[in-house]
Amino acid sequence: MLKKDELEYLEFSNALSTIKLTLQGAHIFDFKIKGKPPLLFLSESAHFKKGKAIRGGVPICWPWFGAHPHDSSLPNHGFVRTALWKHLETRHLNEACTQIILGLESSEESLKLWPYDFELKLEITISDTLELSLITTNKSNKPFTLTQALHTYLQITDIHAVQVEGLQNKPFYNKLDDTYGNVEKETLHFNSEVDRVYQGLDKPLILVDKQKKIEVKTVGSQSVVVWNPGENFADSFSDLSDYKSMLCLESANALDDAITLKPNETHTLTSILSPF
């Protein structure tokens, strides 16, 4: 077991790629395809502290995305991103493909925050792509409804020089002015803060950077969150070193795309990141 400041982490590699993740939050903070730059953004001032979320990589937002809908005293984006997960299994599928499985179950502490029994698994598959599947099983004797996101920070050259394809004609909620029913009319560019939930997505998104492209494919949802704090808002984050080098494209179940599970039902949210 390796350690970075206060947090223990695991490292795995194969013929094509290397990944690092903390057991706290099942948080992937580094993924590299050999011979290529990092796929994920990690802030130089990110905190690796017990009970604190890491700024960068892939935080897991669950069982609610954003603020709790009824109780503002509960943690933003849920409680699993600072919970201690277990490493369940590593499968070497071949020399160039490895699968890592992490797990988390309800506990006395979680039941104080959310009154349901559950089982979570994160299946991570690394090769020349990064595939993440967050699997929720309702172990309670009553239904529950959740929102969630794989809060993916992508490493980019410059936020002002990238664009996102695949959002045209899609409706979105704009958190900045709390408006619904907006529609994206063209390829998305960035010149200020953006915080939106796009809905009704039915095909992968393409992030176009100066010298690379990244395909973001989502399975198990029709929502993607797009976030960059912009110059004016970036200063409010003490652990964000450079807003220009990051863009969050988050596979999510949010707003009308919330998931309701009956007892013993399972739902899988998958995000597949493919640089090319």
Tell me the domain boundaries of the chain. Answer: 2-275
Residue 223 CA to residue 256 CA, distance in Å, equals 9
pTM score over 0.85: yes
Per-residue pLDDT of the chain (276 residues; tens, 9 = 90+): 899 999 999 999 999 999 999 999 999 999 999 999 999 999 999 999 999 999 999 999 999 999 998 999 999 999 999 999 999 999 999 999 999 999 999 999 999 999 999 999 999 999 999 999 999 999 999 999 999 999 999 999 999 999 999 999 999 999 999 999 999 999 999 999 999 999 999 999 999 999 899 999 999 999 999 999 999 999 999 999 999 999 999 999 999 999 999 999 999 999 999 999
The topology under which CATH files domain 2-275 is: Beta-galactosidase; Chain A, domain 5 (2.70.98)
Catalytic residue among 151, 165, 184, 265: 151
Q: Which residues contact 245 (CB under 8 A, 6 or more apart)?
A: 41, 155, 156, 157, 158, 159
Active site residue 151: yes
Q: Which residues contact 244 (CB under 8 A, 6 or more apart)?
A: 156, 158, 159, 160
Least Cα distance to 269 among 121, 127, 165 occurs for 121
Catalytic residue among 68, 250, 265, 267: 250
Active site residue 27: no
**Torsion sign across C-alpha atoms 81, 82, 88, 94:** positive
In order of 46, 99, 106, 117, 242, the CA distances from 56 in angstroms are: 7, 22, 26, 29, 11
**How many residues does the structure list for the chain?**
276
